[in-house]
């Protein structure tokens, strides 16, 4: 459409011409934005992470995704698996990282990570670090309010070793827990990925027991799947491989 041929040189015509050009520019911008969103190059991606993925899989996957899709706005929230499921079903988040197994007809789930509970103690701790050796030690745990599934897993693991843990302190995040352990307030049970935080003054010991392990999957709602979601999930699968 040629606006010049439709407008005369009167003030009203000039105003119409200027307004018409603005509308065309806005329509072009809207079309370009829509095309970018369709191809997963723009928009907003809401990601929910849990205790096992916040320091392991997600950071490198997120860096790679942002390098490839710099126009996408990313929002990240920390949620337990039950809360993530509710948020995914409600359309409040686009991608979540859940403790497996998860079987829900509305969710797509792909395994991306194997994690395990690890013992952490102050570097000054003497002796072996095993479940049996810490049964009398004061224990620091991630709060059950933060992750019900992780907390319950730790309790079951201690029970399988024949004792009920003496919990003296709870923390709302792994970094705080590690520093409480560093201060000598007790030993802790943390995901193995906590080693990636490189907190000094603590040492770790793996628990050689399959009961200490669990799988983590990336999940999204089938009805809300988009190019953004597919692009991010593909990067997560590549990172996990």
Q: Are residues 122 and 208 in the same domain?
A: yes
Q: Are residues 121 and 56 in the same domain?
A: no
Q: Are residues 120 and 207 in the same domain?
A: yes
Torsion of Cα atoms, 178 then 182 then 188 then 191, to 10°: 30
Residue-number span of the structural domain to which 20 is assigned: 4-38
pLDDT in tens, 39-96: 446 799 999 998 888 788 899 999 999 999 999 999 999 999 999 999 999 999 999 9
**CA–CA distance, 223 with 107 (Å, rounded to integer):** 9
Q: Is the pLDDT of residue 106 over 60?
A: yes
Sequence-ordered list of residues with C-beta below 8 angstroms from that of 140, at least 6 positions apart, any chain? 167, 168, 169, 170, 171, 177, 180, 181, 185, 186, 187, 188
**CA–CA distance, 130 with 121 (Å, rounded to integer):** 11
Q: Are residues 222 and 109 in the same domain?
A: yes
Could you please report the per-residue DSSP string of 141-199? EE-TTT-HHHHHHHHHHHHHTT---EEEEEESSHHHHHHHHHTTS-EEEEEGGGGGG--
Identify the pLDDT of residue 111: 96
Q: Are residues 120 and 181 in the same domain?
A: yes
Identify the pLDDT of residue 129: 95
Identify the pLDDT of residue 54: 79
Sequence-ordered list of residues with C-beta below 8 angstroms from that of 21, at least 6 positions apart, any chain? 3
pLDDT in tens, 117-156: 999 999 999 989 999 999 999 999 999 999 999 999 999 9
Identify the pLDDT of residue 52: 83
CATH number of domain containing 206: 3.40.190.10
Domain count, the chain: 3
Question: Mean per-residue pLDDT for 161-167?
Answer: 96
Q: What does the block give as tokens for 181?
A: 């352990």
Q: Are residues 107 and 55 in the same domain?
A: yes
Strand partners, 119: 189, 205
Q: Are residues 136 and 151 in the same domain?
A: yes
Q: Is the pLDDT of residue 114 over 70?
A: yes
pLDDT in tens, 196-218: 999 999 999 999 999 999 999 99
Q: Are residues 141 and 199 in the same domain?
A: yes
In this prediction, residue 37 has a pLDDT band, given cuts at 50, 70 and 90, of very low
Q: Are residues 157 and 209 in the same domain?
A: yes
Q: Are residues 34 and 149 in the same domain?
A: no
Q: Are residues 179 and 147 in the same domain?
A: yes
Taking CA atoms, 197 is separated from 67, 132, 149, in Å, by: 23, 26, 22
Q: Are residues 181 and 199 in the same domain?
A: yes
């Amino acid at each position: 459409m040629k606006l010049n041929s439709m407008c005369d040189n009167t003030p009203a015509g000039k105003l119409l011409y200027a307004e018409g050009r603005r509308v065309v520019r806005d329509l072009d911008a809207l079309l370009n934005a829509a095309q970018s969103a369709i191809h997963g190059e723009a928009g907003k991606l809401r990601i929910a992470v849990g205790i096992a993925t916040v320091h392991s899989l997600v950071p490198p996957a997120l860096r790679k995704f942002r390098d490839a899709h710099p126009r996408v706005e990313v929002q990240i929230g920390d949620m337990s698996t039950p809360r993530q499921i509710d948020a995914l079903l409600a359309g409040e988040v686009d991608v979540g990282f859940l403790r497996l197994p998860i079987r829900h007809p509305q969710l797509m789930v792909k395994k991306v990570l194997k994690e395990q509970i690890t013992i952490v103690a102050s570097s000054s701790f003497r002796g072996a670090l095993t479940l049996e050796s810490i049964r009398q030690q004061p224990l620091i745990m991630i709060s059950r309010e933060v992750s019900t599934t992780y907390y319950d897993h730790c309790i079951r693991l201690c029970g399988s070793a024949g004792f009920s843990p003496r919990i003296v302190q709870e923390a709302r995040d792994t970094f705080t827990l590690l520093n409480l352990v560093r201060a000598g307030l007790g030993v802790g049970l943390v995901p193995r990925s906590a080693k990636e935080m490189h907190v000094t003054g603590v040492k770790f010991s793996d628990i050689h027991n399959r009961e200490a392990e669990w799988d983590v999957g990336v999940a999204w709602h089938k009805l809300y799947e988009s190019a953004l979601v597919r692009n991010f999930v593909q990067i997560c699968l590549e990172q996990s491989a």
